[in-house]
Structure 1
Amino acid sequence: MKKIIITFFGVLLLGNMSCTNDLDTDPIVELTLEELLNRDPNAVQGIVSRLYGSFALSGPDGPESSDISDDAGESPFLRGILNLQDFTADGIKNRWGDDGLDQLTTTANWDENNKFFRYLYNRIYYTIPQCNNLLSVLDNVDTEAKDEVIAEVRFIRALAYYYLIDTFGKGVLATEENFGTSAPLPEATRAELYAYVESELLAVIETLPNTNDYGRANKAVGNMLLAKLYINAEVYTGTGKYTEALSAITKVITEGGYTLADSYVSVFSGDNNTSSEIIFPLIADAVTSQSFGNTTYIVNGSSSSETMTLAEYGLTEGWGGHRASKGWYGLYGDLETTTDDRAALFFTEGHSYEMNDYKTWTDGYPSIKFRNTNALSSSSAPTQFSGTDFPLFRLADAYLMFTECAIRTNQNLGEALDYLNQVRVRANATPINTGDLTLDFVLDERARELNLEGHRRTDLIRFGKFTGNTYVWPWKGGVAAGTAIPDTYKLFPIPLQALEANLNLKQNNGY
């Protein structure tokens, strides 16, 4: 890790702040990071951009390259988030079934050999050491706005750790302090990782800029991640932090300067980089940041020429993989009569309402929420890769988080109702009254608004509806009508390769 090949950083020497740079740079020379930054301190900005890109891109040399030894197409970070957060829950199912994907889409037969668990684990522990590497030398480098850069890198690392806490619940605590240590690190518990991420975010949020370039962290982005950590604290540590979550999310709403987009579908279209609602995107570009793991996975994966005209969604190819189930579109009521704009974002022609066989493309409705066409300007020509950015954090989510925390703490209920109804009115859904403002309604509204955005499994766990039989959905537990699954499944198994590489790690209970 001490040696940094120029290819990895791609466009370092261009000093470009964007995450959509040309990554097709041939390796010229191998330098230590210290040597590289001594030659050009401005290269820091390119390195930081590359760290942001690690959440959406597979590698430095186009969609066939990979930063890790895993498959370049299957293993990108965002693809892992979607696989583990959405396919394992109620709203979206995948039909491919290849080597472990069936285990996710049926929430059944999970074990440590599943490659999709390994992919996300490896991506997490790819991003974290890269952050540590940069942090270990930044103190000795003279670069512009160094304190803000350090805060951004610590945020990126905290974001990677957040997904480790949420999905696997344990790991090792690798920081710049132990970077380069040859001995295997000790296992860190979920509570220890939680405390570390909380302390990191509290330490850097005030140093993050009030505004930043698109796709980079500012104070609102930091507070959003802190609120997500706090809202799930009861799951992660056994102690609720809903009051703290409410305080953090209030700062996002009142100080961030974001507003709901007028059009819901514009948030998920090819020109969504202009959206007033997106707080923190993972950037995609059909030419300069091609990846099989960004929104290309969603748009192409949810489309097929078998039943759809691909060009209508800006595509040249469809993979025919993902369809929604009635666990999602059933929440809108009658799709033919509802006024909710979000209910129109399913392709129903030639498809069955019931998902009797999740491996049959025409069982279930494909979601056309994400598309590769523009919403606010003239559409561009269809492309193989998506140019639609992924809204990892957005204001509607913040509004619904505020509402949930207000209900759980029994405060600010008037504001909570207003925020929830702003989300509904934007979608032309009927506003609700105070008597309807319940946690169950919020959970359903989060599904209507946020499904296919990497939140659903976490939401169901937080609301106590993921495991057991309190709530079942199509193909839960490998049964068409759904059945109970064990509490073990609130965490994923630690991948076998990780256990073999570090004997200090122990498998999660039940696997």
Structure 2
Amino acid sequence: MRKILTGVIFALALTSCVGDLDTEPKVQLTIEELLADDPDAIQGIVSRLYASFALSGPEGPGSSDIDDDPGESPFLRGIINLQDFTADGMKNRWGDDGLDQLTTTSSWNSNNKFFRYLYNRAYFTIPQCNNLIQILNSVDVENEELARSEARFLRALAYYYLIDAFGKGVLATEDNLGESNPLPEATRIQLFEYVETELLEIEPLMPETNDYGRANKYVVDMLLAKLYLNAEIYINENRYDDAFTYVNKVITEGGYQLADNFLENFSGDNDTSPEIIFPLIADPVKSQSYGNTTYIVNGNLSSETMTLSDYGAAEGWQGHRATKAWYGLFCGGVDNSAELRNCNDDRAKLFWIGTDEETGDDLHNFEMEDYREWTDGYPSIKFRNNDFGVASNPTSFSGTDFPLYRLADAYLMYAELALRNASGANLQTALGYVNDVRTRSNASTVTINELDLDFILDERARELNLEGHRRTDLIRFNKFTGSSYVWPWKGNSSTGVSIPAHYKLFPIPQQALGANPNLTQNPGY
């Protein structure tokens, strides 16, 4: 039975915001009294830190740790909104205030609430990690070093998203906890070096295995590999050799294996998948949230035309659809629904086209002429709430864990690094990894002559879209801004147009600028 990481121990007042990063730990009991009352209290707090990446608050889906909307603002929902809906493969039709600007990659400004949500979530998690680390530095408890290292990892993970999305912020640590003056602005290089140092220090301290849903040595290695892979973007420095060192450790030492079936990674019982390196846990009863995979599963379903129980869902929100920039990549490039349906690649079958029973016509259109129109584009049924190959009782909230890191991603990172001439990476090994990923889904194998960076970018889309990587990938391949690659509704055009280079970073939220006069806006906004 899976371990549910939704700790309900609140020894610390888990309250902070962008204007109150100096919050000191407020303890209802002394730490000695707390531990005497519950020897596992520290582990409960660590669990709560993990949960901050998927849940909205301590009292169910309607509660919030921060002042933002509990349904819209959870960390994982922000990752999907800013990584996938701002990119090429997925679009949303709801038109919520600010969401149109994400899905059309246009008219971005510092008042968009969705930028604020991710920023605030990061700066909620970071001070809570600081609070726990400070306490652990003053007490002697069982597994103290592991708890401290896990808190440092989660803090580094939150900072990673700030580096990637906003490029700067403030550097809040246990050392300046309680500082009454606004913290100085930290540059992207300063944040990068801090995260790098933290991860390198804790990597040898982390265990090779840990409870399900908790970080181990190879989760740290994966985050290091991600940091180094994108270093040319983040700090204008080639760190591909370092990226290879750590992704190769994940592959050769971590003991992970590709799941036999692609869908094992995206079903309700994916906690049994041997491929998932680090999940964000969901549970339909004990950890309900509108911001974990519930957002992905329900958002891609419609109660009007789809049988929700086929996907273990009780609700369909009729919001998300893929575009041809994703499903058009299969089987050498398809131009219509018939070609997509005839594609042997199992991943190509995970788009819901639908058929009118009377006319035989498609219910959804291949082209997305209007992103607000539900029938333009194909909903993705990659994530589902039922167990793999098993009928399940439908639930309103998802119990499918989110695979933040998995082995197929590591394989494709290895191949990219080999093509970028990382020291130690072997092209023949890379080819084998790529073909392992493809044959798992019944896709045809490729030859060494077909293996190039453009192919890797497309394969990452086929394999990893809707998993929170796409915007970062496009930026790394110099395909996000400008006109070298356009997609449906890029720049608010149905056929896609160029967007400015400053869109490689999101604007610093106006709320954060108002709260800390030391912060400055990113160029172009």
CA distance in 2, matches of 1:197, 1:387: 31
Structure 2 vs 1, CA of residues 435 and 408 (structure 1 numbering), >3 Å: closer, same or farther? same
Name the stretch that deviates more: 146-155 or 253-262.
146-155
Aligned to 2:359: none
Aligned to 1:34: 31
Matched, 1:340 2:345: yes
Which one-letter code corresponds to 1:361 in the other structure?
W
Matched, 1:19 2:5: yes
Aligned to 2:68: 70
Q: For 1:90-489, what aligned pairs fall within 5 Å after superposition?
A: 90-332=88-330, 333=334, 334-349=339-354, 350-376=363-389, 378-409=390-421, 411-489=425-503
**Could you list the per-position Cα deviations for residues 21-53 of structure 1 after superposition, in whole angstroms to 9, with x for gaps in the alignment?**
57899x9x9615636645444200000000000
Shift of 1:309: 1.2
Which one-letter code corresponds to 1:301 in the other structure?
G
CA distance in 2, matches of 1:407, 1:131: 37
CA distance in 2, matches of 1:375, 1:74: 28
SS in 2 for 1:409: coil
CA distance in 2, matches of 1:281, 1:499: 33
Structure 2 vs 1, CA of residues 481 and 60 (structure 1 numbering), >3 Å: closer, same or farther? same
SS in 2 for 1:205: helix
Aligned to 1:495: 509
Q: For 1:80-95, what aligned pairs fall within 5 Å after superposition?
A: 80-95=78-93
Shift of 1:18: 3.5
Say whether the 8 Å CA contact 1:468–1:487 is kept in structure 2.
yes
CA distance in 2, matches of 1:22, 1:442: 42
SS in 1 for 2:328: helix
**Could you list the per-position Cα deviations for residues 123-176 of structure 1 after superposition, in whole angstroms to 9, with x for gaps in the alignment?**
000000000000011022222121121111100000000000000000000000
Using the size of structure 2 for normalisation, the TM-score is 0.92
**Matched-pair identity in %:** 66
Shift of 1:312: 1.0
Which one-letter code corresponds to 1:305 in the other structure?
S
CA distance in 2, matches of 1:428, 1:241: 34
Name the stretch that deviates more: 437-446 or 405-414.
405-414
SS in 2 for 1:335: helix
Alignment length (residue pairs)? 493
Say whether the 8 Å CA contact 1:48–1:153 is kept in structure 2.
yes
CA RMSD of aligned residues (A): 1.7
Say whether the 8 Å CA contact 2:7–2:48 is kept in structure 1.
no
Structure 2 vs 1, CA of residues 17 and 367 (structure 1 numbering), >3 Å: closer, same or farther? closer
**Could you list the per-position Cα deviations for residues 342-383 of structure 1 after superposition, in whole angstroms to 9, with x for gaps in the alignment?**
00000001100000000000000000000011115x322000
Shift of 1:258: 0.4
CA distance in 1, matches of 2:453, 2:30: 49
CA distance in 2, matches of 1:296, 1:443: 27
Say whether the 8 Å CA contact 1:17–1:45 is kept in structure 2.
no
**Could you list the per-position Cα deviations for residues 232-261 of structure 1 after superposition, in whole angstroms to 9, with x for gaps in the alignment?**
000000001111101100000011110000
Which one-letter code corresponds to 1:435 in the other structure?
N
**Could you list the per-position Cα deviations for residues 77-116 of structure 1 after superposition, in whole angstroms to 9, with x for gaps in the alignment?**
0000000000000000000011000000000000000000
Which one-letter code corresponds to 1:353 in the other structure?
F
CA distance in 1, matches of 2:222, 2:271: 19
Aligned to 2:45: 47
Aligned to 2:358: none
CA distance in 1, matches of 2:73, 2:515: 19
Which one-letter code corresponds to 1:456 in the other structure?
R
Name the stretch that deviates more: 171-180 or 16-25.
16-25
Shift of 1:389: 0.3
Which one-letter code corresponds to 2:208 in the other structure?
N
Say whether the 8 Å CA contact 1:20–1:284 is kept in structure 2.
no
Say whether the 8 Å CA contact 1:327–1:474 is kept in structure 2.
yes
Shift of 1:187: 0.2
CA distance in 1, matches of 2:404, 2:510: 29
Say whether the 8 Å CA contact 2:6–2:48 is kept in structure 1.
no
Say whether the 8 Å CA contact 1:20–1:285 is kept in structure 2.
no
Say whether the 8 Å CA contact 1:17–1:49 is kept in structure 2.
no
Which one-letter code corresponds to 1:34 in the other structure?
I
CA distance in 1, matches of 2:112, 2:8: 33
Aligned to 1:5: none
CA distance in 2, matches of 1:33, 1:358: 54
Say whether the 8 Å CA contact 1:315–1:384 is kept in structure 2.
yes
**Could you list the per-position Cα deviations for residues 253-312 of structure 1 after superposition, in whole angstroms to 9, with x for gaps in the alignment?**
011110000010111000101000000000000000000000000000111122211111
CA distance in 2, matches of 1:270, 1:426: 20
| Structure 2 alignment gaps of length 5 or more | 14-25, 355-362
Which one-letter code corresponds to 1:338 in the other structure?
C
CA distance in 2, matches of 1:421, 1:220: 23
Structure 2 vs 1, CA of residues 312 and 17 (structure 1 numbering), >3 Å: closer, same or farther? closer
CA distance in 2, matches of 1:44, 1:330: 49
**Could you list the per-position Cα deviations for residues 196-217 of structure 1 after superposition, in whole angstroms to 9, with x for gaps in the alignment?**
0000000001101110000000
Shift of 1:387: 0.4
| Structure 1 alignment gaps of length 5 or more | 1-15
Structure 2 vs 1, CA of residues 70 and 254 (structure 1 numbering), >3 Å: closer, same or farther? same
**Could you list the per-position Cα deviations for residues 59-89 of structure 1 after superposition, in whole angstroms to 9, with x for gaps in the alignment?**
0000000000000000000000000000000
